[in-house]
Chain A
Amino acid sequence: KQEVTQIPAALSVPEGENLVLNCSFTDSAIYNLQWFRQDPGKGLTSLLLIQSSQREQTSGRLNASLDKSSGRSTLYIAASQPGDSATYLCAASSGNTGKLIFGQGTTLQVKP
C-alpha cells in the first residue's frame, strides 16, 4: 500500500531564501510524481509532474527531482517570495487508475 509523507509540515523562511521541500513514498512502482500548490480554501494548482523515467523537471524558480530507488522527491524553490506562501502537496500515482496518493502537505510561509 502506497504511503506518502511530507516533511516538514510547516516552514517559515525570510524572503529571498532558497528552500527544499521533501516528499517520500513507500512503493517505488509509481507512474508519476506530481507537485501541487494549494492556497487557503482553494483548489490544487499543478506545479510540476515527473514521470517515472525522469529524474527532474524545472519550471521557472521551481525544480523537482525524483529518486525512485530511495522513494524520494524534492521540490526546490529558488529565491522565495511572499507570493510563494501556500501549502505544497506531492502526490504519487500508481496502478492504471485515477488514484493519487497525497502527502499531508508542507505549509510554507515566506516573510517579507
Chain B
Amino acid sequence: KAGVTQTPRYLIKTRGQQVTLSCSPISGHRSVSWYQQTPGQGLQFLFEYFSETQRNKGNFPGRFSGRQFSNSRSEMNVSTLELGDSALYLCASSSGGARSVWGYTFGSGTRLTVV
C-alpha cells in the first residue's frame, strides 16, 4: 500500500513569488492535513481538508491556502512568499481525522527555501 506522497521534495523560490505544493494521501483516506515545521516554532497546523471541504484552519495569514480534489489529493498554495516561509511542509493523511483509530500518516515533506 503506497504511503503519502508529497511533491516536490525541494523547492527554492524568490521572495514575492508564489508556490504550490502537492500531497497525495493513502488510497481511501479522505482527510488531508498540512503542517509547517520550523526550528523555532516546531510543527504548526495549517489546515485540514475532508472530502473536499476545509474543516479547520490554523493561525496563518491568508497567503496560505489549500484545496482538495475529488480524488482526495490536496494542494497547498503560498502567495507573496516571505523569507520566514522557509520551512519543511508536511502533509498528513487519515481515514477519518482526529477520531481515527489509525491516526495520521505523514509524507516525507517538501523543503521550501525562500531567498
Chain A: minimal CB distance from B52 (Å): 14
B90 and A34 contact, CB distance less than 8 A: no
Contact check, A94 vs B43: say whether CB atoms are below 8 A apart.
no
User: Helix, strand, loop or mixed for chain B's interface?
Assistant: strand
User: Given known contacts A31-B98, A34-B103, A46-B103, is B48 in contact with A98 (CB within 8 Å)?
Assistant: yes
> Which residue in A43, A100, A104, A105 is a CB contact (below 8 Å) of B45?
A100
- Contact between A96 and B99, CB atoms less than 8 A apart: yes
Number of A-B residue pairs with CB-CB distance less than 8 Å in the complex they form:
85
Interface contact A98-B97, CB-CB below 8 Å: yes
Do A102 and B106 have beta carbons less than 8 Å apart?
Answer: no
Contact of A96 among B88, B97, B111 (CB under 8 A): B97
Q: Would you call A51 an interface residue if the criterion is a C-beta within 8 Å of the partner chain's C-beta atoms?
A: yes
Nearest A-chain residue to B43, judged by Cβ: A102
Of the residues B6, B33, B50, B102, contact of A100 by C-beta under 8 Å? B33
